[in-house]
Structure 1
């Protein structure tokens, strides 16, 4: 666990794949042999980092999940986006790996990479569907958005969050985290209807 957390937080402008197992073990303060014992290979270690990060992101968002009227669903989604953005900022190596997964063609992806990317998009699709259903229930929209539209919006939201996180971290430190969050919230709410 400590190794996965340390890998997710790497911030030296190299992808996690560019680090040697020796470097990763030293960063986490564990023996190189224990890395191979626990994960078998560097490739499996990187896959497990993605799985661990995606599970942690889902847990954070689930802890903030609230179902109810439009206002509570909207507030819950805003809190989830805020927490997810903070998570992406805290773990730049994980964020880079998600960006890599988003940019890969379906044929080029490993099964694990595709599954984790789809899990994150599915989580966001579910949250947007709840917001959409609350909008319809309260008469703010006549019909719900199609599942395909919700999935496109979720993929767009994930891509935007990852890109904003990377841009804020590397190029635009003057952008406040709250401004980035509000831009993502506006995207999510504005795309429904």
Structure 2
């Protein structure tokens, strides 16, 4: 994933461009229907653009949906990369906590994107689109890398006997992503009494407790 530029038809455009503003407006969509259930007319109205602009920028609603996932995944990487700092167990753990907090806030800010991630996670490997699978795996890979850094720091400071296997780290990363998406949706739709910080701390405990 690249956080800087995107070019049609892959979706790679400059951040801040009209195309990105359209994507972010639709990622913010918040009603009982998924973005796939909205017509192009409805999506254009939500974004405040002409229907023709949607087709000009994306070609089809299906490609628009794919590019929402691409763009959101890239933004998540950018946010987490900006907070990826420090060496040693304490610093790495603090960095991961900050990244989880920022990622959870992003999921809350963009409920339509969060719904797309949930959709991608639930798809069978043989029937989901290549783009959905690629972006889902990219997000899991991003989390796997962060967990691997924490795992290595624990081993280096003798808090663990041996590093976790790559398969275990990937399983943990997938579990963490699924939990973050589920918590975001549940807090938004059913459990408004749950504080965002409590949700973040639950995810942090999950990410740290499974290592070592």
Which TM-score band applies after superposition, normalised by the shorter structure? over 0.9
Q: Deviations over 1:51-105 (max 9, x none)?
A: 0000001100110001400000000000000000000000000000100000000
Deviation at 1:34, TM superposition (A): 1.1
**8 A contact 1:67–1:130 mirrored in 2:** no
Deviation at 1:108, TM superposition (A): 1.0
Runs of 4+ displaced beyond 2 Å: none
Cα distance in 2 for residues equivalent to 1:92 and 1:127? 24
Name structure 2 gaps, 5 residues minimum. Answer: 1-19
How far did 1:109 drift?
A: 0.7
Count, aligned residues: 193
The answer for unaligned runs of 5 or more in structure 1 is: none
Q: Counterpart of 2:126 in 1: which secondary structure? A: helix
Superposed displacement of residue 191, structure 1: 0.3
SS in 2 for 1:105: coil
1:70 corresponds to 2:89: yes
Cα separation, 1, equivalents of 2:63 and 2:164:
38
Work out which structure has the larger RCO, using CA pairs closer than 8 Å and 6 or more positions apart in sequence.
1
Cα distance in 2 for residues equivalent to 1:95 and 1:117: 12
Cα distance in 1 for partners of 2:94, 2:147 equals: 12
Q: TM-score, normalized by length of structure 1?
A: 0.99
In 2, the alpha carbon distance for the partners of 1:22 and 1:57 equals: 28
1:2: Cα distance to partner? 1.5
Deviation by residue 1:130-166 (Cα, 9 ceiling, x = unmatched)? 0000000001001000000000000000000000000
Cα distance in 1 for residues equivalent to 2:86 and 2:37: 42
Cα deviation, 1:25-66, whole Å, max 9, x if unaligned, reads 111111110110110000000000000000001100110001
Per the normalisation by structure 2, the TM-score is 0.90
Determine which structure has the larger helix proportion and give its number.
1
